Amino acid sequence: EQPLAQPSSPQAAVGWGDIGGLDAVIERLKETIVWPLQHPERFRRLGIRAPRGVLLHGPPGTGKTMLAQAAASEVSASFLAVAIPDLVKGEVGESEKALAAVFAAARRGPSILFLDEIEAIFGAREQAGETGRKLVSQLFLEMDAIPSDARMVILAATNAPAMVDPAILRAGRLDTVIHIPRPDEAGRLDILRRSTRHLRIDDADAVLAWLARRSLSGAEIRAVVRGACYAAIQRGSQTLARPDFAAAAESAIYCDNTAATSLH
């Protein structure tokens, strides 16, 4: 069976430089995540509580997971990720044990504990009655029990902030809330530039500017870039050209429907 918390593999390491269009978010994350992990003593000396956690909210595919991975790799912290819907689906008793185990591992630090789709734990409370309620209160207990000098920061992500119980935003829990929007045109151009750095593209500036006008998310951009690579491979070229991107955007095989429709 798959372990609930998947440690990141070194090959998959992403850094701040891979993330486009989110410079302001990255700066805030440096304050709220990087400083407490690298210099917990500075907070202690000032007599203030180091930030414990951040809630990232915004539409799917905008880079929330990527931000958490980059934060971990930038400070050489271990990255522990839990998909909350998987946790909620677990057997009664098993879910609680798994949650306790992942917090215990994260407390050993330095670590980033990424709780993806955090809203699922509150949805479970409504549906599963007693069991769901127990899981929510255990999550709060685990958060409240983190020693002040523990080198761990919690990053939670959600696409459905309205489902998140505001009790999770109390001091010492997820004390910072950051909105991750869909990228605007400048943001899309930045994502495109970063995700095609290693590629040769004919007339790159014009092609990327043309693509950036389309309303794509970061994940959709990745799908189109990958599709364009396949298109170039198919025609035996080592250089990408505008028709490769156009073909990728039109192909249902290489990208999802949202990307395909928004490109027409």
> Interface with ligand ATP by CB under 6 A: which residues?
19-22, 60-66, 157, 159, 191, 194-195, 218-219, 222
Starting from the edge strand earliest in sequence, which strands make up the sheet with 111-116, in order?
A: 6-7, 78-83, 111-116, 152-158, 53-57, 176-179
Nearer to ligand ATP, 168 or 224 (CB): 224
Nearer to ligand ATP, 122 or 150 (CB): 122
Nearer to ligand ATP, 189 or 207 (CB): 189
Report the SS3 class of residue 21: coil
Tell me the closest approach of the beta carbon of residue 65 to ligand ATP, in angstroms: 3
Tell me the closest approach of the beta carbon of residue 156 to ligand ATP, in angstroms: 11
Tell me the closest approach of the beta carbon of residue 108 to ligand ATP, in angstroms: 25
Report the residue number whose CB is nearest to ligand ATP: 218
Calculate the CA 244 to chain-centre distance. Answer: 29
3-state secondary structure 233-257: HHCCCCCECHHHHHHHHHCCCCCCH
Tell me the closest approach of the beta carbon of residue 181 to ligand ATP, in angstroms: 10
**What does the alpha-carbon distance between residue 102 and residue 216 come to, in Å, rounded to a whole number?**
35
Tell me the closest approach of the beta carbon of residue 22 to ligand ATP, in angstroms: 5
Nearer to ligand ATP, 197 or 264 (CB): 197
**Cis omega (within 30 of 0) for bond into 110:** yes
Nearer to ligand ATP, 58 or 110 (CB): 58
Tell me the closest approach of the beta carbon of residue 95 to ligand ATP, in angstroms: 21
Question: 153 forms bridges with which residues in the sheet?
Answer: 112
Report the DSSP pairing between strands 78-83 and 6-7.
antiparallel
Nearer to ligand ATP, 32 or 146 (CB): 32
Pair of tokens at residue 208: 């990327």
